[in-house]
């Protein structure tokens, strides 16, 4: 019988994503792999007492409920922390979690700005046995995984161009009450780029492509919103961002057009990735979650886009039949399985598709910092290279 490694989690942050992670752990029996690895939620923390009700009612194995997050760090029965808190809290909480000796699955952008991100990475480097990863579930969709395999197999040939983006529409409503993501001191200057950027850069950075420079156009569309108390409050963060990034691949440079938008009419959590190469092209969007479009080209041959239904083809096999459809909660479960698998084997060992790494968050911050400068100056801004950025190691 295979020995079981149980990863005992604490959740800090009782909001939407904290509940998503808890729900994913409750579905752990859905997974057939990784063999010998399982997860349990042992503790939860939220500053808002009312947000703890759902956890009390639905998590039978819960052993600790707190409103002070440091109580979870002091609990020796917790191995790993999932932390989903506003961006201004990332540096203090993430570094404290790592320094306590616990593994970390943290939300993007992994620090409110480049300086905060650098200090988080310094804490990770000081704890080489710690597994620290950034939440980014959408590349675990089967269509995105098919594209990732095509990249690994060098099927694209010379890359011509890449398009990636993450689009929301809820902020089109000017009567929507303001929340912390529209407040610069809490969300950070990145605005929509900080909240959505790691999702779109995960796959291109995993491919090993290096960002060289960026020209960005950022839009502050709605300048004020209802404050929930009968008045109006200023919206201080960027609503939409379009970035033209020069990337360096193994066969030379190519353009990557990246979009993060919170005001994209008609879009509901739409993530997409398109790669065009001289031998192969592919495009996938969560708008059509079971569909992958591809074009494979031989010199002198026809150029025909083909559509394929993928079904349920996940990184880690599950009890779901292959003819069924993959969804958002499945992507969360697959990401969590990848994180737990990494914890079980160690930070430097291989897993089928790792969660977003600290180095990838660092590259994301380099891109977004340059994008802010590009918006300020109206110019193309160089992105610091790996040596200048202090990027080290495969996993950190």
Instruction: Output the CA angle 304-287-83, nearest 5 degrees.
Output: 130
Which residues partner with 64 through β-bridges?
Answer: 43
The answer to whether residues 105 and 194 belong to one domain is: no
Asked whether the beta carbons of 144 and 162 are under 8 A apart, the reply is: no
Q: What is the mean pLDDT of residues 118-136?
A: 97
| Mean pLDDT over the full length of the chain | 95
Q: What is the pLDDT of residue 150?
A: 98
Average pLDDT, integer, range 218-230:
97
- 50 and 180 share a domain? no
Q: How far apart are CA 165 and CA 122, in angstroms?
A: 29
Residues 206/360, Cβ–Cβ less than 8 Å? yes
Flag whether pLDDT at 390 surpasses 60.
Answer: no
Same domain, 46 and 183: no
Distance, CA of 43 to CA of 45 (rounded, Å):
7
Residues 197, 91 share a domain: no
The token pair that represents 349 in the structure block: 């060992």
| 364, 229: one domain | yes
Statement: residue 120 has pLDDT above 70: yes
DSSP states of 221-243 as a string?
---EEE-SSSSEEE--S-SEEEE
226-267 tens-digit pLDDT: 999 999 999 999 999 999 999 999 999 999 999 999 999 999
Structure tokens at 265: 């009419």
Examine the domain organization and report whether 127 and 145 are in the same domain.
no
Same domain? For 171 and 316 the reply is: yes
Can you tell me the mean pLDDT for 190-213? 97
At 285 the three-state DSSP class reads: strand
Phi, then psi, of 74 in degrees rounded to 5: -85, -5
The rounded distance, in Å, linking the Cα atoms of 296 and 199 is 27
Same domain, 377 and 230: yes
Tell me the H-state helices in the chain: 16-26, 53-58, 70-73, 90-99, 114-125, 142-152, 184-187, 192-206, 328-345, 358-377, 386-389
**122 and 213 both lie in a single domain:** no
SS3 218: strand
Rounded to a whole number of angstroms, the CA Rg of the chain reads 21
Is residue 48 predicted with pLDDT exceeding 90?
no
CB 244 within 8 A of CB 163: no
Confirm whether 48 is domain-assigned: yes
Q: pLDDT class for 2, splitting at 50, 70, 90?
A: low
Contact between 159 and 246 (Cβ < 8 Å): no
Q: How confident is the model at residue 384 (pLDDT cuts 50, 70, 90)?
A: confident
The percent of residues above 90 in pLDDT, for the chain, comes to 94
pLDDT tens-digit series, residues 140-175: 999 999 999 999 999 999 999 999 999 999 899 999
Bridge partners, residue 5, by sequence? 37
What is the rounded distance in angstroms from the CA atom of residue 126 to the CA atom of residue 226?
44
Are 247 and 361 in a shared domain? yes
Is it the case that residue 136 has pLDDT exceeding 50? yes
Average pLDDT (277-292) is 97
The structural domain count of the chain equals: 2
161: domain CATH number? Answer: 3.30.360.10
Residue 292 and residue 148 in one domain: yes
Structural domain that includes position 24: 5-134
d(CA 316, CA 351): 10
Is the pLDDT confidence value at 314 over 60?
yes
- Span 208-235, average pLDDT: 97
Q: Last residue of some domain: 113, 134, 155? A: 134
Tokens of 159: 């890359």
Please say if the pLDDT value at position 385 is more than 90.
no
Residue 389 pLDDT:
47
Asked if residue 22 belongs to a domain, the reply is yes
**CA 284/CA 134 separation, integer angstroms:** 22
Residue 256 lies in a domain: yes
pLDDT in tens, 184-196: 999 999 999 999 9
pLDDT band at 1; cut points 50, 70, 90: very low
Using the structure block, give the residue that is written with the tokens 């930070």. 347
Are 267 and 372 members of one domain?
yes
Helix (H, G, I), strand (E, B) or coil at 282: strand
* Rounded average pLDDT over 108-127: 98
In a domain, 215, yes or no: yes
């Amino acid at each position: 019988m295979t020995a079981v490694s149980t990863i005992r989690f604490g959740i800090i942050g009782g909001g939407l994503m904290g509940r998503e992670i808890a729900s994913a752990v409750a579905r752990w029996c859905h997974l057939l792999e990784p063999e010998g690895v399982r997860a349990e939620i042992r503790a939860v923390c939220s500053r808002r007492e009312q947000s703890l009700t759902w956890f009390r009612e639905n998590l039978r194995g819960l052993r600790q409920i707190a409103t002070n997050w440091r109580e979870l760090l002091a609990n020796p029965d917790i191995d790993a922390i999932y932390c989903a808190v506003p961006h201004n809290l990332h540096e203090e909480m993430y570094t404290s979690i790592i320094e306590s000796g616990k593994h970390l699955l943290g939300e993007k952008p992994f620090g409110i700005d480049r300086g905060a991100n650098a200090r988080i990475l310094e804490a990770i480097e000081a704890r080489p046995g710690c597994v620290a990863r950034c939440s980014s579930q959408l590349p675990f969709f089967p269509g995105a995984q098919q594209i990732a395999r095509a990249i690994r197999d060098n099927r694209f040939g010379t890359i011509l161009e890449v398009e990636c983006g993450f689009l929301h529409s809820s902020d089109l409503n000017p009567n929507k009450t303001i929340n912390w993501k529209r407040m610069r001191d809490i969300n950070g200057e990145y605005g929509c780029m900080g909240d959505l950027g790691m999702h779109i850069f995960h796959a291109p950075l995993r491919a090993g492509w290096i960002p060289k420079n960026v020209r960005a156009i950022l839009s502050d569309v709605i300048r004020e919103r209802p404050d929930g108390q009968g008045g109006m409050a200023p919206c201080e963060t960027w609503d939409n961002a379009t970035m033209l990034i020069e990337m360096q691949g193994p066969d030379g440079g190519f353009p990557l057009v990246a979009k993060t938008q919170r005001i994209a009419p008609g879009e509901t959590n739409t993530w997409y990735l398109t790669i065009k190469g001289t031998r192969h092209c592919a495009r996938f969007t969560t708008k059509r979650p079971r569909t992958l479009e591809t074009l494979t080209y031989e010199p002198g041959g026809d150029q025909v886009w083909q559509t394929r239904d993928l079904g349920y083809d996940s990184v880690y096999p599950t009890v779901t039949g292959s003819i069924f459809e993959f969804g958002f909660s499945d992507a969360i479960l697959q990401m969590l399985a990848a994180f737990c698998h990494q914890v079980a084997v160690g930070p430097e060992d291989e897993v089928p598709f790792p969660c977003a790494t600290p180095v990838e968050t660092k590259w994301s911050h380099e891109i977004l910092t340059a994008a802010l400068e590009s918006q300020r100056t109206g110019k193309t801004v160089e992105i610091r290279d790996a040596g200048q950025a202090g990027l080290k190691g495969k996993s950190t």
